[in-house]
Amino acid sequence: MSSVSLAGNIPSAATLQARSEDRTAWLLAAPAVVLLLLFVLLPVAAVIFLGFTDFELGYGKFRFVGFENYAHLISDRTFRRSLWNTSVYTAIVAPVSIVLGLGVALLIEGEGRARGFFRTVYFLPVASLIVAMATVWQYIFHPTIGPLNALLSLVGIPGPNWLGASNTVLYSLSIIGIWQSVGFNMVLFLAGLTAIPRELYAAAHVDGAKSALDRFFLVTWPMLGPTTLFVVTISITNAVKVFETVKMLTDGGPNKASEVLLFTIYQEGFVYLRVGYASAMTVVFLAILVVLMLLQYRVLDRRVHYT
Amino acid sequence: MTSIPAGRIIRFALLSLGALMILAPYIFMISTAGKTQSDIFTSSLALIPQHFYFAENFAKALAKVPMATLLWNGVVVCGLIFFFQVVVAIPCAYAMAKLKFRAARLIMVLVMLGLLVPIHATALPLYVAFDRMSLLNSYTSLVAPFTISVFAIFMFLQFFRAMPDDLLHAARLDGMSELGIIARVIVPNAWPAVTAFAIFSVVAHWNDLYWPLIVVSKQAYATPPLGLMYFRAAEAGDDYGALMAATLIITLPLVAAFLLAQKRFVEGITMTGLKG
């Protein structure tokens, strides 16, 4: 900063240099800005626009229908089912994978020699092709030849048709979702845990926090605030975006019991090619993401002040 | 004195139990890939195959899935995406972090907006546009929407801000151009951020099914997830032996990369803290 003002004894030289620096900056940023407009902002504007039309791929013409698509969405049973299923899936996967992720992180943190091994194992699903692992889960969940039901029959429990029955399919998908994200949350929590200064635990001990549980609530939990908020937001967002396992294993079935938001959008837009209607759904999806983000900022403003 | 080992044993037991549940799918995948059809139907809990059928199952999988094409497509698509993301994002982040740039705040707002928008939200208009330009079933359609990563800009921006300005002044005094500074000073110093982003980007796009499913309908351009989906759809029956063999082959590259570069992976994921 100082060298610039030193170099420019004459003020006009300084402004000239600033102007040329501004121009260079624009040139450097131009590709990113152009692509950002082209592939993110323009398409978002287009989705909002298309949501007010009856555009269908393959038909040349389309007309404005105002809020007709949205009115239709409210009474659309598939879409409502889909919103409900996504909420149930998120309400299961996010909390369970966060709590398990934190639990595993705390256990691993205290572990000595085997620490690296466990971290690798729990993280493995994150590095695995989810589409591929979904087919493995399909085999595990297979009602007749799957190992899970074989195991259950050993103890005399008749296993359900995990992915094939409408009352269990969402829970089965949730199990896969949890399996997939525990390790991811664990790694984030581990990073948060290592950032907590050791002295705080010693201080808590002096202050009379004798048990591990006391120390957890006095030091660990408050110090993990920012990490937890981050993990919560990411877990919810990722759960709302569930698609791969549904597309791969159930196609929304049986009987729409596993229709989730992105799958319904995919089906409407890219299979039935009703682009206008699917765009309205996409706007709802985007609105959910925006609300989640705003909630995160509010919480962040209100209470997380540790970093 | 005795309570400490007890606690340790419980902790170890809990961790082992969880690890077993995490590993179960991998164990069954490997075991089933080595079983004959009749073994699969009769003894699903026996982990060691009765007749070693690995070679046959792998041969079947390789005969039916164009594995080389899939892996090649995966490498090309992920490689191109990563290349463009970095080449586009680094100069922009540098300009925002280190130059007097009046529009930096405005671009920051755009970047923050962009962070909110996943491919699922932009897919419809992009699909319509690619369809109009007859670009479906091409590397272009697979790569183009991801050439801009607002996340990369955001991440590099944080990283560049922490870099000392003296380094840049020295380079400028040496008469280096801004592009020269980026290539010879910034990038070499930003290597940890670049590798972290590389892992994030490759994991995300290697796994992505949504966008390839939309723009690709031909085997020739299928990425690994899509190829596996085709195979499963075609083999609708219960030939789980071959299916598990295919699954194993397709999962292996990224898992192997992870096992070899674990530390970097974990660092990369924590540093980027995002996926999908």
Q: Which residue has the tokens 């877990």?
A: A235
Residue A53, SS3 per DSSP: strand
Q: Minimal Cα–Cα distance from A75 to chain B, Å?
A: 22
Model pLDDT for residues B45-58, shown as the tens digit of each residue: 777 777 777 788 88
- The reply to whether A245 and A284 lie within a common domain is yes
How many Cβ contacts (< 8 angstroms) between chains A and B?
273
Please name every residue paired with A53 in a beta bridge, in sequence order, or none if there are none.
A64
Rounded CA-CA distance A73/A284 in Å is: 10
Residue A64, SS3 per DSSP: strand
- The reply to whether A230 and A103 lie within a common domain is yes
pLDDT at A4: 47
| Single-letter amino acid, residue A28 | L
Burial of B248 (0-12, 13-18, 19+ CB in 10 A): buried
- The reply to whether A149 and A219 lie within a common domain is yes
- The reply to whether A151 and A215 lie within a common domain is yes
Cβ contact B101–A43 (<8 Å): no
Q: How far is CA B143 from the centre of its chain?
A: 14
Cβ atoms < 10 Å from Cβ of B112: 12
CB contact at 8 A, A256 and A78: yes
Interface-testing mutation among A135, A140, A231, A234, with chain B (most B C-beta atoms within 10 A): A135
* Shortest CA distance from B85: residue in chain A: A32
Interface-testing mutation among B48, B120, B173, with chain A (most A C-beta atoms within 10 A): B120
- The reply to whether A190 and A230 lie within a common domain is yes
B96: nearest Cα among B173, B192, B186: B186
On average, the pLDDT of chain B sits at 85
- The reply to whether A25 and A152 lie within a common domain is no
Interface-testing mutation among A35, A62, A178, with chain B (most B C-beta atoms within 10 A): A35
In terms of phi and psi (left: phi > 0; alpha: psi -120 to 50; beta: otherwise), the region of A156 is left
Provide the terminal-to-terminal Cα distance of chain B, rounded to the nearest Å. Answer: 47
Number of domains into which chain A is organized:
2
Cβ atoms < 10 Å from Cβ of A51: 24
| Single-letter amino acid, residue B114 | G
Here the tokens at position A227 are 């990490």
User: Is the N-terminal amide bond of A254 cis, ω within 30° of 0?
Assistant: yes
Q: Minimal Cα–Cα distance from A220 to chain B, Å?
A: 18
In terms of phi and psi (left: phi > 0; alpha: psi -120 to 50; beta: otherwise), the region of A298 is alpha
In terms of phi and psi (left: phi > 0; alpha: psi -120 to 50; beta: otherwise), the region of A146 is beta
CA distances from residue A88 to A83, A84, A195 in whole angstroms, order as listed: 9, 6, 34
Residue ranges and CATH numbers for the domains of chain B are 3-62 (no CATH), 66-234 (1.10.3720.10)
- The reply to whether A283 and A239 lie within a common domain is yes
pLDDT at A8: 46
Task: Going from the first residue of chain A to its last (307 residues), give the mean pLDDT of each consecutive group of 10, the final group possibly shorter.
Answer: 48 78 88 94 94 86 88 92 95 96 91 84 90 91 86 84 89 95 90 84 83 84 86 91 92 88 94 93 94 84 56
Across the range B148-174, mean pLDDT stands at: 87
CA distances from residue B269 to A171, A205, A246, A292, B275 in whole angstroms, order as listed: 27, 33, 25, 22, 8
DSSP assigned state of B48: S
B128: nearest Cα among A254, A34, A279: A279
CA distances from residue B15 to A120, B11, B130, B231 in whole angstroms, order as listed: 12, 6, 49, 36
- The reply to whether A294 and A168 lie within a common domain is yes
- The reply to whether A113 and A248 lie within a common domain is yes
pLDDT at B271: 65
A7 at B interface, C-beta within 8 A: no
- The reply to whether A126 and A188 lie within a common domain is yes
Q: Would you tell me which residues 74-133 of chain B have a C-beta closer than 8 angstroms to some C-beta of chain A?
A: 88-89, 91-92, 94-96, 99-104, 107, 110-111, 113-114, 116-118, 120-128, 131
- The reply to whether A38 and A79 lie within a common domain is no
Model pLDDT for residues A172-216, shown as the tens digit of each residue: 999 999 999 999 899 889 888 888 888 888 888 888 877 888 888
Here the tokens at position A155 are 């103890």
In a domain, A111, yes or no: yes
In a domain, A59, yes or no: no
Here the tokens at position B247 are 């699954």
Per the structure, the complete domain to which residue A112 belongs is given by 75-303
Across the range B33-40, mean pLDDT stands at: 78
- Please report residues of B whose CB lies closer than 8 A to that of A130: 207, 225
- The domain that holds A257 is classified in CATH as 1.10.3720.10
On average, the pLDDT of chain A sits at 87
Cβ contact A25–B265 (<8 Å): no
Burial of A44 (0-12, 13-18, 19+ CB in 10 A): buried
Q: Would you tell me which residues 175-214 of chain A have a C-beta closer than 8 angstroms to some C-beta of chain B?
A: 179, 182-184, 187-188, 190-191
CB contact at 8 A, A237 and A226: no
